[in-house]
Structure 1
């Protein structure tokens, strides 16, 4: 998967499309990652009135509901404006888009991760199983642990990725988790969708 960047006005908006994750070497074809139902409920409670945190890089993410306990590394974009992702030979690591907000700052912090690899399911394989109300903890370099509550999970065709909702401005501390998903197109080697988890800081 890859992310392309454009720069409307002042805000850098990173879109998502194109190349799927490598799955060569999986016997019998890749296992299909869970897809969130189209009518998955969303969480509508107002965000708590929490003072925003100062900037600090995230170093670890935990998602108890899907047994994710992963290291986070910073990622940027290459010369072509494509968002970098962790190396495919380290499929258990997540990436933080370092040019955006850090978790706990005002704005949407973005974490990306592979859905699978030649060895099998990767760090964000089960994102589609998350549901509103479940929690995500992010440990930062300043030793603070920020807790986010899932607002909703959606799958989007790659040519209709919601850049504004993911990378656009926000007046609260949000978190976005992104991976590939949906049907695997064996002719192109790509997944046709992206799965996006939307969450808000609650502690």
Structure 2
């Protein structure tokens, strides 16, 4: 299966996920989604932390982030006819997707999960992603019956023009996970100006 390039994923993350339909229809102001503080970010992604042994490949079915009350099914995201990464249907507010031509969550490498921050009706699955803290847990149910348990290393927000493709999507020597939604500034004409990214690595499984 052909793999999508880093720049194509970044473009889709910014454009297709980030229209801000709810804010555009009057949800702005105090209802804007939380953004991570500088204390939750890091300058360089380190692979020095303890990691659990990698799991064999298995598609994921569900993601849970207890600290922000996320418990959502996962759908596979493939490539569109234009060669970019597809996104979950905007109308399904409690649905996230994973890049199924890449690493499965729990195996060695960088697995990618993406979801909407909002839709025309209000907050969506990753609305509170910017409120996740370092050390928080992320659980991914896998089709083989195992659960991959990740620990958050950092949460950062990037403007679209400064999005670090290699840092977010680059290969890893241990099992890592990126969870991505929209964030940064908001413009009524173009939607969200960037992305919130959670960086996590595998620390256990069951």
TM-score normalised by structure 2 residue count: 0.86
Gaps of 5+ in 1: none
Corresponding position of 2:38:
38
Indicate yes or no: 2:176 matched with 1:174. yes
Distance 1:157 1:25 in 2: 18
8 Å CA contact 1:25, 1:119 repeated in 2: no
1:150 aligns to what SS in structure 2?
strand
Cα-Cα RMSD: 2.2
Distance 1:156 1:23 in 2: 20
Corresponding position of 1:200:
201
Gaps of 5+ in 2: none
Indicate yes or no: 2:47 matched with 1:56. no
> For the structure 1 residues 49 and 6, does the alpha-carbon distance in structure 2 shift closer, same or farther, using more than 3 Å as the test?
closer
Aligned residues: 194
> For the structure 1 residues 178 and 140, does the alpha-carbon distance in structure 2 shift closer, same or farther, using more than 3 Å as the test?
same
2:91 aligns to what SS in structure 1?
coil
Give the Å deviation of 1:183. Answer: 2.3
> For the structure 1 residues 113 and 65, does the alpha-carbon distance in structure 2 shift closer, same or farther, using more than 3 Å as the test?
same
8 Å CA contact 1:61, 1:139 repeated in 2: yes
Give the Å deviation of 1:47. Answer: 3.3
TM-score normalised by structure 1 residue count: 0.87
1:164 aligns to what SS in structure 2?
helix
Give the Å deviation of 1:46. Answer: 3.5
8 Å CA contact 2:47, 2:174 repeated in 1: no
Give the Å deviation of 1:45. Answer: 8.5
1:71-150 matches, within 5 Å, as: 71-150=73-152
Would you tell me which structure has more helix in proportion to its own residues? 2
Corresponding position of 1:6:
5
